[in-house]
Chain A
């Protein structure tokens, strides 16, 4: 087990390193480089000066060398300066990371709880009306475009009904807990809907399968109350594949969070990266993308370990 953890951590680091190079190269292929942006605001600079500046910034060096310099600086904690925020990239990203973590964790928790309830209820009587309704709702959840859902929710609850704010966040202490929750509600629901749909389908399938298994039948035959059969005997076995799928999905929540943050103007990681790419703020975009990659990689690592911990039959080597 210890060897497995060590190896998986090593692999995670390797993927992160490879991705840092890929992202670094891709960022270099985006329109304009730092100099173009600078020169745009200072017309009339001679070509000689431009060449000189390029040399100073090291932009005339080969890609690998530039990457090496960047990597060395990054390992020392220097991720460069954000142009648009006029702050070190790390300082911009730190509060954004908190916003995103809050959004992702809330949405994840909500969808897991809802999915467990819906999935189990649907699995109890497969094929019946309630199952069909839940199934239809689950399909709707995984089929709705997140940004459009956000739009519709804003239209209904903010524009028409004026029940909830359409955008922004408040810090916890600022306007009280209620205001905080009111701001969080629409984004969290938006983000959670897709995953509720997806997870509930997994829970339903896993529950139907385990409810058919011998040990569950035995428990029923022994006269265990139905509630106990479902919640203890069946659910425990059904959870092994379900937890894995859920944990593996946590990282993918980031994509949805990007859209949600953009729609509700939440200053999280996703919106920061998006704005950075739009505004040619490449240091910030690069650092943000790396952090996003790290978050996904770490959640997958946790998923792997959880799998081994939940299912003792799996021998991790």
Chain B
């Protein structure tokens, strides 16, 4: 049999996409799949505020002192809080705020950390040295007290208008900024260290030999190979950011009322814990479920991205 005849007999199999293989592996991780479902449900829950608000015809910001601590009813499905506001709607809207802060601060801080870490590891030199010194210093700081100080800063002294400083938007963006400001260093360090080890591998040399530039190598070889530690780091960051937002808002230095967030809804919960324990339970439970789901998701992604890991 000649070689060409053999070639004709071979069925040329099409390559399955890398992502499909990853999805197949992800689905094996039961905790992660359950978490994915839980997160989608949570998303649906917080977005349900949009149709529900006109449907029930409730203003979630209007206080009604005659209807404080109302039990659940047809109109107020979870009852009302200490100011007579609908608990269910505020949980939904507070969830939107909390999740948005978590995703935004992680995205900003994570993107910054990955860019800086990968560049520092890939190019080395001064940038690398500075980054390492800086993150060393950052890690050695008491995080929460400093965040509280940053959360307490008088924005007018930084040149913002008094009107903006008092607005709800200022409170929202302030917490996004201060959290992303402090929470990129872990990602950057992991990105740097992983990049350093990948850069020395022969498959990177092979790409260079074929004429690949830094951007191609970073995107094709470095990022996928450092994805596992990065995804874990970034996912853990989301969980940490949501927790940070909640504790800052709870302490009164994060998202400020009347804008609800799961954290600041617990503001008064401590005094009310005997009177209305449910009010103290719901928001915290939602934070808990969100963060644990996010953490399991990270675990599942790690499994999906690392062909060698077997659980």
Contacts and interface: CB of A to CB of B under 8 A. Distances in A.
Contacts of B284: 145, 147-149, 151-152
Given A139-B295, A293-B141, A148 B273 contact: no
Contact of A151 (B239, B273, B295, B296): B273
Interface string A121-140: 00000110000000010011
B77 interface: no
Nearest to A159: B274
Sort chain A's interface into a size bin. Answer: 35 or more
A182 to B, nearest CB: 19
Which residue among A126, A255, A278 has the maximum number of chain B CB atoms within 10 Å of its CB?
Answer: A255
A88 to B, nearest CB: 20
Nearest to A285: B149
A56 interface: no
Sort chain B's interface into a size bin. Answer: 35 or more
B274 A148 contact: no
B46 interface: no
Q: Name B's interface SS.
A: helix
A189 interface: no
B11 interface: no
Given A151-B270, A155-B280, A259-B247, A26 B292 contact: no
B291 interface: yes
Which residue among B158, B270, B273, B295 has the maximum number of chain A CB atoms within 10 Å of its CB?
Answer: B270
B142 interface: yes
Contacts of B263: 145
Interface string A252-263: 101110110011
A29 B158 contact: yes
Given A146-B247, A151-B284, A255 B140 contact: no
B17 interface: no
Given A144-B288, A145-B287, A255-B144, A155 B251 contact: no
Contact of B270 (A29, A127, A263, A274): A263
A147 B299 CA distance: 25
B21 interface: no
Contact of A29 (B140, B153, B287): B153
Contact of A251 (B137, B140, B149): B140
A292 interface: yes
Interface string B251-281: 1100000000001001001100110010011
A145 B247 contact: yes
Contacts of A234: none
Given A31-B154, A145-B287, A274 B251 contact: yes
Given A155-B277, A289-B149, A300 B139 contact: yes
B243 to A, nearest CB: 6
A89 to B, nearest CB: 15
B233 to A, nearest CB: 14
B145 A292 contact: yes
Interface string A290-317: 0011011100100000000000000000
Interface string B129-166: 00000001101111111101110111001100000000
Contacts of A149: 284
B246 interface: yes
A112 to B, nearest CB: 20
A139 B246 CA distance: 18
Given A127-B311, A292-B145, A15 B140 contact: yes
Q: Name A's interface SS.
A: helix
A289 B146 contact: yes
A285 B281 CA distance: 32
A186 interface: no
Given A29-B157, A29-B158, A274-B251, A289 B288 contact: no
B149 A27 contact: yes
Interface string B99-132: 0000000000000000000000000000000000
Contacts of A293: 140-142
Contacts of B295: 139, 142-143
Given A151-B269, A159-B274, A259-B144, A30 B153 contact: yes
B130 to A, nearest CB: 14
A21 to B, nearest CB: 13
A152 B284 CA distance: 9
A146 B248 CA distance: 12
A259 B299 CA distance: 28
B250 interface: yes
A254 B291 CA distance: 21
A114 interface: no
Contacts of B285: 148
Given A152-B281, A270-B145, 4 more contacts: A31-B157, A145-B250, A262-B251, A274-B148
24 contacts: A23-B146, A29-B158, A30-B154, A31-B152, A31-B154, A126-B311, A139-B296, A143-B294, A145-B246, A146-B243, A146-B247, A147-B284, A148-B246, A151-B266, A152-B281, A155-B277, A159-B274, A256-B144, A258-B144, A259-B144, A259-B247, A277-B152, A293-B140, A296-B141
Interface of A: 11-12, 15, 18-19, 23, 26-32, 126-127, 136, 139-140, 142-149, 151-152, 154-155, 159, 248, 251-252, 254-256, 258-259, 262-263, 270, 273-274, 277-278, 285, 288-289, 292-293, 295-297, 300
